[in-house]
Structure formats: structure tokens, C-alpha cells
């Protein structure tokens, strides 16, 4: 059966209307929760500031750690009651520099989270931070990465908890890093696993019609990366061991921003796309601004559950 791509008709357009951000690293159920959490928080906080990520909390299915207005907060959403004041706790350990803002975050294999930021000034730079509130000290640690540190995100290796894949946003390539979570020393660059400009030049034909960049990727249970091409109308599956593009999925939108696995069997790839401002010309047939579900992926492709965040004792009962 061929791969099928269909637009999500229920809630999909509303999600992108309320929160025009790419899908993050959460499951289908959490995506729906994120939409409603975002709406509640915006109403409570006079509609200022974006929601940058949402991560499930271990052993508490109705709790999430979210990035909001450059803060990390704990919220509760039951799925039955849309509480306009969902915030339970603000983690005050988070300290960012002036003009620095949180872009996104993800859970790590060690019950904490990593987040990446962007700082605007004479030039745009970025940093990554690890946050582990269970540790007795140095809970919030910054890391500087190659070049200017700008990234569109990381995904952790599916089996090796000491390794992750990092998007180098300046050069549009994916790098592999090792990390010692006990010492919490700066990650070590293990080398490049995929270079988008080199691949595009090597394939010898116009795969897309404009300049593309790497969006927020995800990883399947076989350790292969699913990489959205923002400006490239596709999601590509990359083998990080060889750098080979194993398959491509055409999306009926140019601005393919992010992807995440979901569904009851974690075998549906949800793909978010960006729409157009009122003063922009939408290309003919472009369905950007919607969320798409990609099913019937070959070779038993599946994703994995989102890695949860562990809240310190005493905060939740």
C-alpha cells in the first residue's frame, strides 16, 4: 500500500491558527493538550508570548512542563476541564540573557530537558541548555556549540543515551554529539551525518524549487531521522550511519516546518506546515498552515513515546 498524506480536518487548522509553531516532540494526545494549554495560558497572561514546547511529566498524564514567555512552568490539563489558570509552578532556575528567547525544548534520557535559544543583536546567535532539577546543584547548565550555536533542534539516539543529533542551522547539516550526563561536560562533536546542500547538489535534479532549510526533525525506532525541509515541500528519511536518504515524502505545502510520530501504534507521522501572511502570495495549490498525517509508511516505521520530565518530590502528590 503506498504512503498516504492527508490533511487533519479536526483541530488541525485551529492549532496552527492559535499557535503557529511547528509540532514539537510529543505524541498525538499531547499535541491536542498543547493546543488547549496554549489557549488557556494566553488567556491568563493577556495573550503575550509564545508557547515554545510542551513535555509530558512522568507518572502524571495530565501534567506538562512547557516553555512560555522564556520561563519553564508546570501546568495541569485534565482533558475534561479547560482551566484558564493551569500553572502550578514556575521553575525560577532559568536565567537567560537580554534579547535571548527560548525556541524549543525536548526531554532527555535522564529525566530532564534540553532547550535551545536564540539571541538577537548585532548578529543572531544561539545556545543550548540542560535542565535537571533533581540534581543537588548546577541544575541549569549552558552549552556553546560550533559556529554561532543556532539550531533548529536535537533528537536523542534511540538506543544510546549518550548520543544526540544536532541541526547546524548555519550550514544546514546534521551533526552527531556524545554527552556525559554524569559530568555534564560540553558535548563532543562526533562528526557530520548529513549535509543538505551537498545532498541536493548530488541528486542532479530539482527536488524542490527554492532554497530549503532543515526544520525540526524526529527519529524512528530504527534510529533513522525524519527531516522536514522548510522551503522544500518534503520530509526525508535519513540513515545517520551512512548519510543516505532512504525515502522521501511529498507534502502539499512548501513550508514544511516539523514532524513527530503519533497515533495509537505510533506509526503515523504528523507534519506541520507554515501558512502565509495576508500580504504574501500563496503559491497555487499550496496548503501551508495545516497539519498533515502521513500513514502507510513502509518497513514498519514507528516512532517512540516522548521522553518524560521528572518533577522533584514534594511538588506533585
Q: How confident is the model at residue 245 (pLDDT cuts 50, 70, 90)?
A: very high
Distance CA 239, CA 190 (A): 16
Q: Position of cell 512552568? A: 73
- Compute the average pLDDT of residues 243-258: 95
Residue % of the chain over a pLDDT of 70: 81
Q: How confident is the model at residue 80 (pLDDT cuts 50, 70, 90)?
A: low
Q: Are 254 and 286 spatial neighbours (Cβ–Cβ below 8 Å)? A: yes
pLDDT in tens, 188-203: 999 999 999 999 988 8
Residue % of the chain over a pLDDT of 90: 49
**94 CB burial (10 A radius; 0-12, 13-18, 19+):** middle
pLDDT in tens, 23-62: 544 333 334 334 444 344 344 333 335 678 889 999 888 8
Name the residue ranges covered by the structural domains of the chain.
Answer: 4-295
- Which element (helix H / strand E) includes 205? none
Cell of 295: 500513514
Q: How confident is the model at residue 134 (pLDDT cuts 50, 70, 90)?
A: confident
Q: Rounded to the nearest 5°, which phi and psi values hold at 125?
A: -130, 170
Map residue 39 onto helix, strand or coil: helix
- Confidence (pLDDT) at 57: 92
Q: How confident is the model at residue 254 (pLDDT cuts 50, 70, 90)?
A: very high
Distance CA 177, CA 143 (A): 12
- Confidence (pLDDT) at 312: 84
Distance CA 257, CA 230 (A): 5
- Confidence (pLDDT) at 234: 95
> What CATH number should be reported for the domain whose range is 4-295?
2.120.10.30
Distance CA 105, CA 94 (A): 13
- Compute the average pLDDT of residues 3-31: 52
Return the C-alpha torsion angle 20, 24, 30, 36, nearest 10: -20
Mean pLDDT, all residues of the chain: 83
- Confidence (pLDDT) at 122: 82
**How many residues are there in the chain?**
317
Residue 277's CB is within 10 A of a number of other CB atoms, namely 6
Nearest to 182 by CA among 126, 109, 127, 117: 109
- Confidence (pLDDT) at 52: 85
- Confidence (pLDDT) at 198: 93
From residue 98, give the alpha-carbon distance in Å to each of 36, 66, 118, 119, 252: 30, 21, 11, 8, 39
- Confidence (pLDDT) at 68: 82
pLDDT in tens, 193-243: 999 999 998 886 677 776 899 999 999 999 999 999 999 999 999 999 999
Is residue 70's pLDDT more than 60? yes
Distance CA 74, CA 128 (A): 20
Q: Are 60 and 311 spatial neighbours (Cβ–Cβ below 8 Å)? A: yes
pLDDT in tens, 148-202: 688 999 999 999 999 999 999 999 999 999 999 888 888 999 999 999 999 998 8
Q: Position of cell 554529539? A: 177
Q: How confident is the model at residue 255 (pLDDT cuts 50, 70, 90)?
A: very high
From residue 131, give the alpha-carbon distance in Å to each of 27, 73, 113, 156, 290: 22, 12, 5, 15, 32
Amino acid at each position: 500500500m503506498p504512503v498516504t498524506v492527508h490533511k487533519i480536518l479536526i483541530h488541525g487548522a485551529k492549532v496552527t491558527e492559535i499557535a503557529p509553531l511547528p509540532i514539537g516532540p510529543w505524541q498525538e494526545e499531547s499535541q491536542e493538550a498543547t493546543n488547549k494549554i496554549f489557549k488557556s495560558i494566553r488567556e491568563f497572561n493577556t495573550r503575550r508570548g509564545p508557547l515554545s514546547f510542551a513535555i509530558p511529566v512522568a507518572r502524571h498524564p495530565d501534567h506538562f512542563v512547557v516553555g512560555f514567555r522564556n520561563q519553564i512552568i508546570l501546568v495541569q490539563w485534565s482533558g475534561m476541564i479547560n482551566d484558564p489558570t493551569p500553572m502550578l509552578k514556575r521553575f525560577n532556575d532559568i536565567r537567560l540573557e537580554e534579547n535571548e528567547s527560548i525556541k524549543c525544548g525536548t526531554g532527555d534520557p535522564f529525566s530532564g530537558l534540553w532547550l535551545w535559544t536564540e539571541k538577537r543583536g548585532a548578529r543572531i546567535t544561539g545556545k543550548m541548555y540542560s535542565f535537571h532539577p533533581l540534581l543537588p546543584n548546577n541544575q541549569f547548565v549552558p552549552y556553546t556549540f560550533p559556529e554561532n550555536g543556532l539550531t533548529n533542534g536535537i533528537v536523542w539516539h534511540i538506543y544510546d543515551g549518550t548520543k544526540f543529533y544536532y541541526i547546524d542551522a548555519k550550514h544546514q547539516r546534521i551533526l552527531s554529539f556524545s554527552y556525559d550526563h554524569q559530568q555534564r561536560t560540553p558535548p563532543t562533536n562526533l562528526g557530520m551525518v548529513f549535509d543538505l546542500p551537498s545532498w541536493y547538489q548530488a541528486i542532479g535534479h530539482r527536488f524542490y524549487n527554492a532554497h530549503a532549510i532543515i526544520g525540526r526533525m524526529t527519529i524512528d525506532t530504527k534510529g533513522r531521522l525524519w527531516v522536514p525541509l522548510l522551503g522544500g515541500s518534503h520530509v526525508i528519511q535519513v540513515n545517520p550511519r551512512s548519510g543516505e536518504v532512504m525515502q522521501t515524502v511529498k507534502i502539499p505545502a512548501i513550508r514544511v516546518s516539523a514532524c513527530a510520530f503519533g497515533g495509537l501504534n505510533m506509526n503515523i507521522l504528523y507534519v506541520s506546515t507554515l501558512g502565509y501572511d495576508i500580504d504574501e502570495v500563496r503559491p497555487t495549490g499550496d496548503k501551508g498552515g495545516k497539519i498533515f498525517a502521513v500513514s502507510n509508511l513502509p518497513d514498519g516505521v514507528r516512532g517512540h513515546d516522548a521522553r518524560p520530565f521528572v518533577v522533584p518530590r514534594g511538588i506533585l502528590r
